[in-house]
Amino acid sequence: MFSYLNVGVLFGLTIETLLIAPVALLFLLFSSSQNASNGIEMALDSLTLFLLIGAGAVTAIPLLLFATGAKRISLSLIGFLQYIGPTIMLFLGVFLYHEPFSLVQLIAFLFIWAGLFIFTFSRLSRFRKIFERLTTFYKPKEKSL
């Protein structure tokens, strides 16, 4: 919704939080009353409350940084960067935790990255052509003495 409006990242996150906070509070109140009637006590001690608030901050700060950085780079680069995280997790799962990785999964993984390389190469060659046109169009005139 805020991608259509020209609002700042912090303002947008504040509005989203204000919209969802009443729903979250109603859920907590409803679930605590249901749990109490079932004999399950939902106690929020100070440590649990601190961890819940801290989890919100730990979630919000990377979102703010990502949204701020995403405004400064192209959408195609953002799309390409979205493949880095899952690839790192795949490598960790296979090599560190020895998760099973079949030949079919390897072929699918290679097809995905081949498509990404083809897309990246086509973008680079396109930018190279645009750069060559700009340099020939704006060629500085030689000074004669």
Residues 6+ apart with CB under 8 A from 9: 64, 67, 68, 71
Q: How many domains does the chain have?
A: 2
* HSE of 104, CA atoms in CB hemisphere, 13 A: 0
Domain boundary among 28, 55, 72: 72
Region 107-123: mean pLDDT is 90
Question: How high is the pLDDT of residue 91?
Answer: 95
CA distance 97 to 91: 9
Residue 133 burial (10 A CB sphere; 0-12, 13-18, 19+): exposed
Same domain flag for 129 and 139: yes
Same domain flag for 63 and 95: no
Same domain flag for 87 and 116: yes
Work out the mean pLDDT of the chain and round it to a whole number: 82
Q: What is the pLDDT of residues 14-72, one digit of tens each?
A: 888 899 989 988 887 777 666 555 544 556 677 877 888 889 889 989 888 888 888 88
Question: How high is the pLDDT of residue 19?
Answer: 93
Same domain flag for 65 and 80: no
- Supply the pTM of this predicted model: 0.56
Question: How high is the pLDDT of residue 41?
Answer: 56
CA distance 124 to 85: 23
In the chain, what percentage of residues exceed pLDDT 70?
Answer: 81
Domain boundary among 26, 50, 72: 72
Q: From residue 59, how far is each of 12, 56, 64 by CA, in Å? A: 15, 5, 9
Domain boundary among 72, 88, 108: 72
Name the residue range of residue 130's domain.
74-145
